[in-house]
Amino acid sequence: MNEKWSAAPPRPASVVAAPVDWTWMAGQFRASEWVVLLYFSYTAILAASFSVPPGRRLVSAAAPVLLFALGAAGSRNPKRWTSIARDWLPAALVLGAYWQLNWFQSPHRMVGLENLFLRFDETILTRMRLHQAIESMGPVIPTLLEAAYTLLYAIPPLSIAALYVYGRRSRVDRFLFPFLLGTLCAYALLPHFPTASPRFEFPALDLPSYATSWRRLNEWILGKGDIDTGVFPRGHVTAAFSAAFAMMRTLPEKPLVGRVLLVMAVLIATATVYGRYHYAADAISGLGISILALGFSMMVRRD
pTM, two decimal places = 0.84
pLDDT, tens digit, 9 for 90 and up, residues 16-44: 444 434 444 555 778 888 898 889 888 88
- Contact (CB, 8 A) for 147 and 270: no
What residues have CB less than 8 Å from 78, skipping those under 6 apart?
none
pLDDT of residue 198: 86
**Residue 9 half-sphere exposure toward CB, CA atoms < 13 A:** 2
Provide the total of helices (H) and of strands (E) in the chain, helices listed first: 15, 0
pLDDT, tens digit, 9 for 90 and up, residues 151-210: 998 999 999 999 999 999 999 999 999 999 999 999 999 988 888 888 888 877 778 888
Residue 48, pLDDT > 90, answer: no
Q: Which among 186, 182, 178 is positioned nearest to 251, based on CA atoms?
A: 178
If DSSP codes are grouped into helix, strand and coil, which group holds residue 253?
Answer: coil
Which of 9-13, 32-36, 254-258 is predicted least confidently? 9-13
pLDDT, tens digit, 9 for 90 and up, residues 195-248: 888 888 887 777 888 888 899 998 898 888 888 888 888 888 999 999 999 999
pLDDT of residue 288: 95
How is 1-56 classified by DSSP, letter by letter?
--HHHHSPPPPPPPP-PPPP--HHHHHHS-HHHHHHHHHHHHHHHHHHHTT--HHH
Q: How confident is the model at residue 10 (pLDDT cuts 50, 70, 90)?
A: low
- Contact (CB, 8 A) for 249 and 174: yes
Exposure b/e, 12-40, CB count within 10 A at least 16 = b: eeeeeeeeeeeeeeeebbbbbbebbbebb
Judged by phi (left if over 0) then psi (alpha if -120 to 50, else beta), residue 9 lies in beta
What are the phi and psi torsion angles at 109 (to 5°)?
-110, 150
What residues have CB less than 8 Å from 166, skipping those under 6 apart?
251, 254, 257
